[in-house]
Amino acid sequence: MALPAQYRVNPSWVVPVVMFALLAALIIGDPGRIDRQKPWLRITTSVAIAALTVANLIAGVRLVADILTNNKLFANNAIALLATGGVVWATNVIAFGLWFWDLDRGGAAARAHQPYANPALVFPEMLHTDYVPTTWVPIFADYLVLAFWTATAFSPTDISAIKRWAKLMMMTEAVVSVGIGALVIARAINILQ
C-alpha cells in the first residue's frame, strides 16, 4: 500500500483484500496462541506469505526494470526512489522473516507442541543456555532479526542455517537485497549529481 501505484499489483485493491481475507481466516481458525495443527491453517499461512512475497517480487522487478531502462519516473526525485526502494527492501525483510518463522521446525503450531524438534536454524540462545532459560525457543522477532541481518550483512551473522532450504532462502534474500540496494542507491546517487 505504501508503494507508488505503478509498483502495486493491479487492480490495487486485490492484494489488501486477499491478505485481509487470509488473515481473517487464520485468526478465526486459530485465535490467540498459534498452536492448532491443522493442514488448512498451515496452507493458508503459506499462501498468505506467498501472496506477500509475490506482490513484493512484482514491485521489485518493476523497480529494477525502471532503473535499468532509464525510466524517467524518478529522474529528479532521489528521495522518492530511495523511499520506494526502501519499502520494497523492508517488505522483503518481513516476507523472509515470515518464511523463516513459518518453515523452521514445521511452523509455529508444530513448535508449540514440540519446540525443540528438528531445527533448521540454530540461534545463539540455543548454544549459550547460561544466559537464557533452558526452555528458550525462537519467536517471530528472532526470525525477523535473522531476515534483517541477512538483508543488511548478506550473511546470517550469529544464526546458523543447518538445513539446505534455510541456506538457500538466506542466499536468495541476500541476492535480492544486494540487487535492490545497489541499483536503488546507485541510481539515487546519479540523480543527486
Radius of gyration for the chain, computed over Cα atoms and rounded to the nearest angstrom: 19
Helices 140-153 & 164-192 angle (0-180, nearest 10): 50
- pLDDT tens for the 193 residues of the chain, in order: 788 878 888 888 888 899 999 999 989 888 877 877 888 988 999 999 999 999 999 999 989 888 888 777 777 788 888 999 999 999 999 999 999 999 999 888 888 888 888 899 999 998 888 899 888 889 999 999 999 999 998 777 789 999 999 999 999 999 999 989 888 888 888 887 6
In the chain, the N- to C-terminal Cα span, in Å, equals 30
CA 108 to chain centre: 16
Location of C-alpha cell 512475497:
53
